[in-house]
A and B are shown apart, each in its own frame.
Chain A
């Protein structure tokens, strides 16, 4: 036989027929038992569209992963730094120090009758909780591209895993705040009992903002450039270096449109028993926070199905 090609006659088994919507598996040569009702599958994957439920149950199943990510974060944070975990305390101290000099000494901003250093440190405490979570959550998808394109897990796990480590930082800085209160002999009032509420609201607000920006950052890398600037503006637009009392009355309405204003003022009031958080501003801030958190979670969920394809 001179033409070797005859040995390679095309396989008759190759499939070319177009399948209908639900064809019987075409290769199945065993007797098909289609009359037997199929058992309920553990999971059915179908294309989704539009808004969908958050599936908190699945998120709960992956709680170990969330904690693993969080502990990875903590373990890695200060590896190969000389001062290690001291940085957690040093960072807000240094920031409060700069504020004390610039705003307290040079600009002579009012601090509602407490030493300016303790005043600005209390503000920084709440602000750092917020900005740490926002910064980390918004970068977490881009920072874990490999994972997103190669492993399945509820995508919400990634941004949420930044919360525990931010809370650890917060707890350490809060202990430092306690030291300051003792040093300056400041006695917090009953308002201290509400501190966990403000804390929870600040975290929720930060998560809401972080979810939106992280989901957007997958398609639009602009987010990583806008965000630091926006945070910088927010830092000065919120009562951190100064108290609400320093804001002219006619600007107050606009000032409190920023939900962080009400929350940070209330936060400082709980610690120092100074300031004037109005119930209206707090109610508004709480509503805005819940709204942003829900918007963030659902829009994240809506955008997440494109993450692996786009990132």
Chain B
């Protein structure tokens, strides 16, 4: 299984002390990935490309954020959204308002907040199995 460590200089919101994450694809369904804190594997998130759960997900990534993760242009950036599983069967909640951006070349990441966007932190989606 391929594993990759990404550095999050500021952690992610609410988890500022966790700065190194292993992001890998343990699932058959390759769209979904796992992101686990290197120092505590219990701190884990399921990630999905936003376009997998919504049509026409377009965001403005600011120059400052690209600089911060050392991205070499937009082609170098991967955007992923954090998935939360709800009490209801087959319904997952996807945070489209504050996605994770990753630079493939610098192996750095950041969670950004799209303050002015209409995207929700709880975009509900039916799980297709």
- A and B physically associate: no
Interface residues of chain B, those whose CB is within 8 Å of chain A, are none
Interface residues of chain A, those whose CB is within 8 Å of chain B, are none
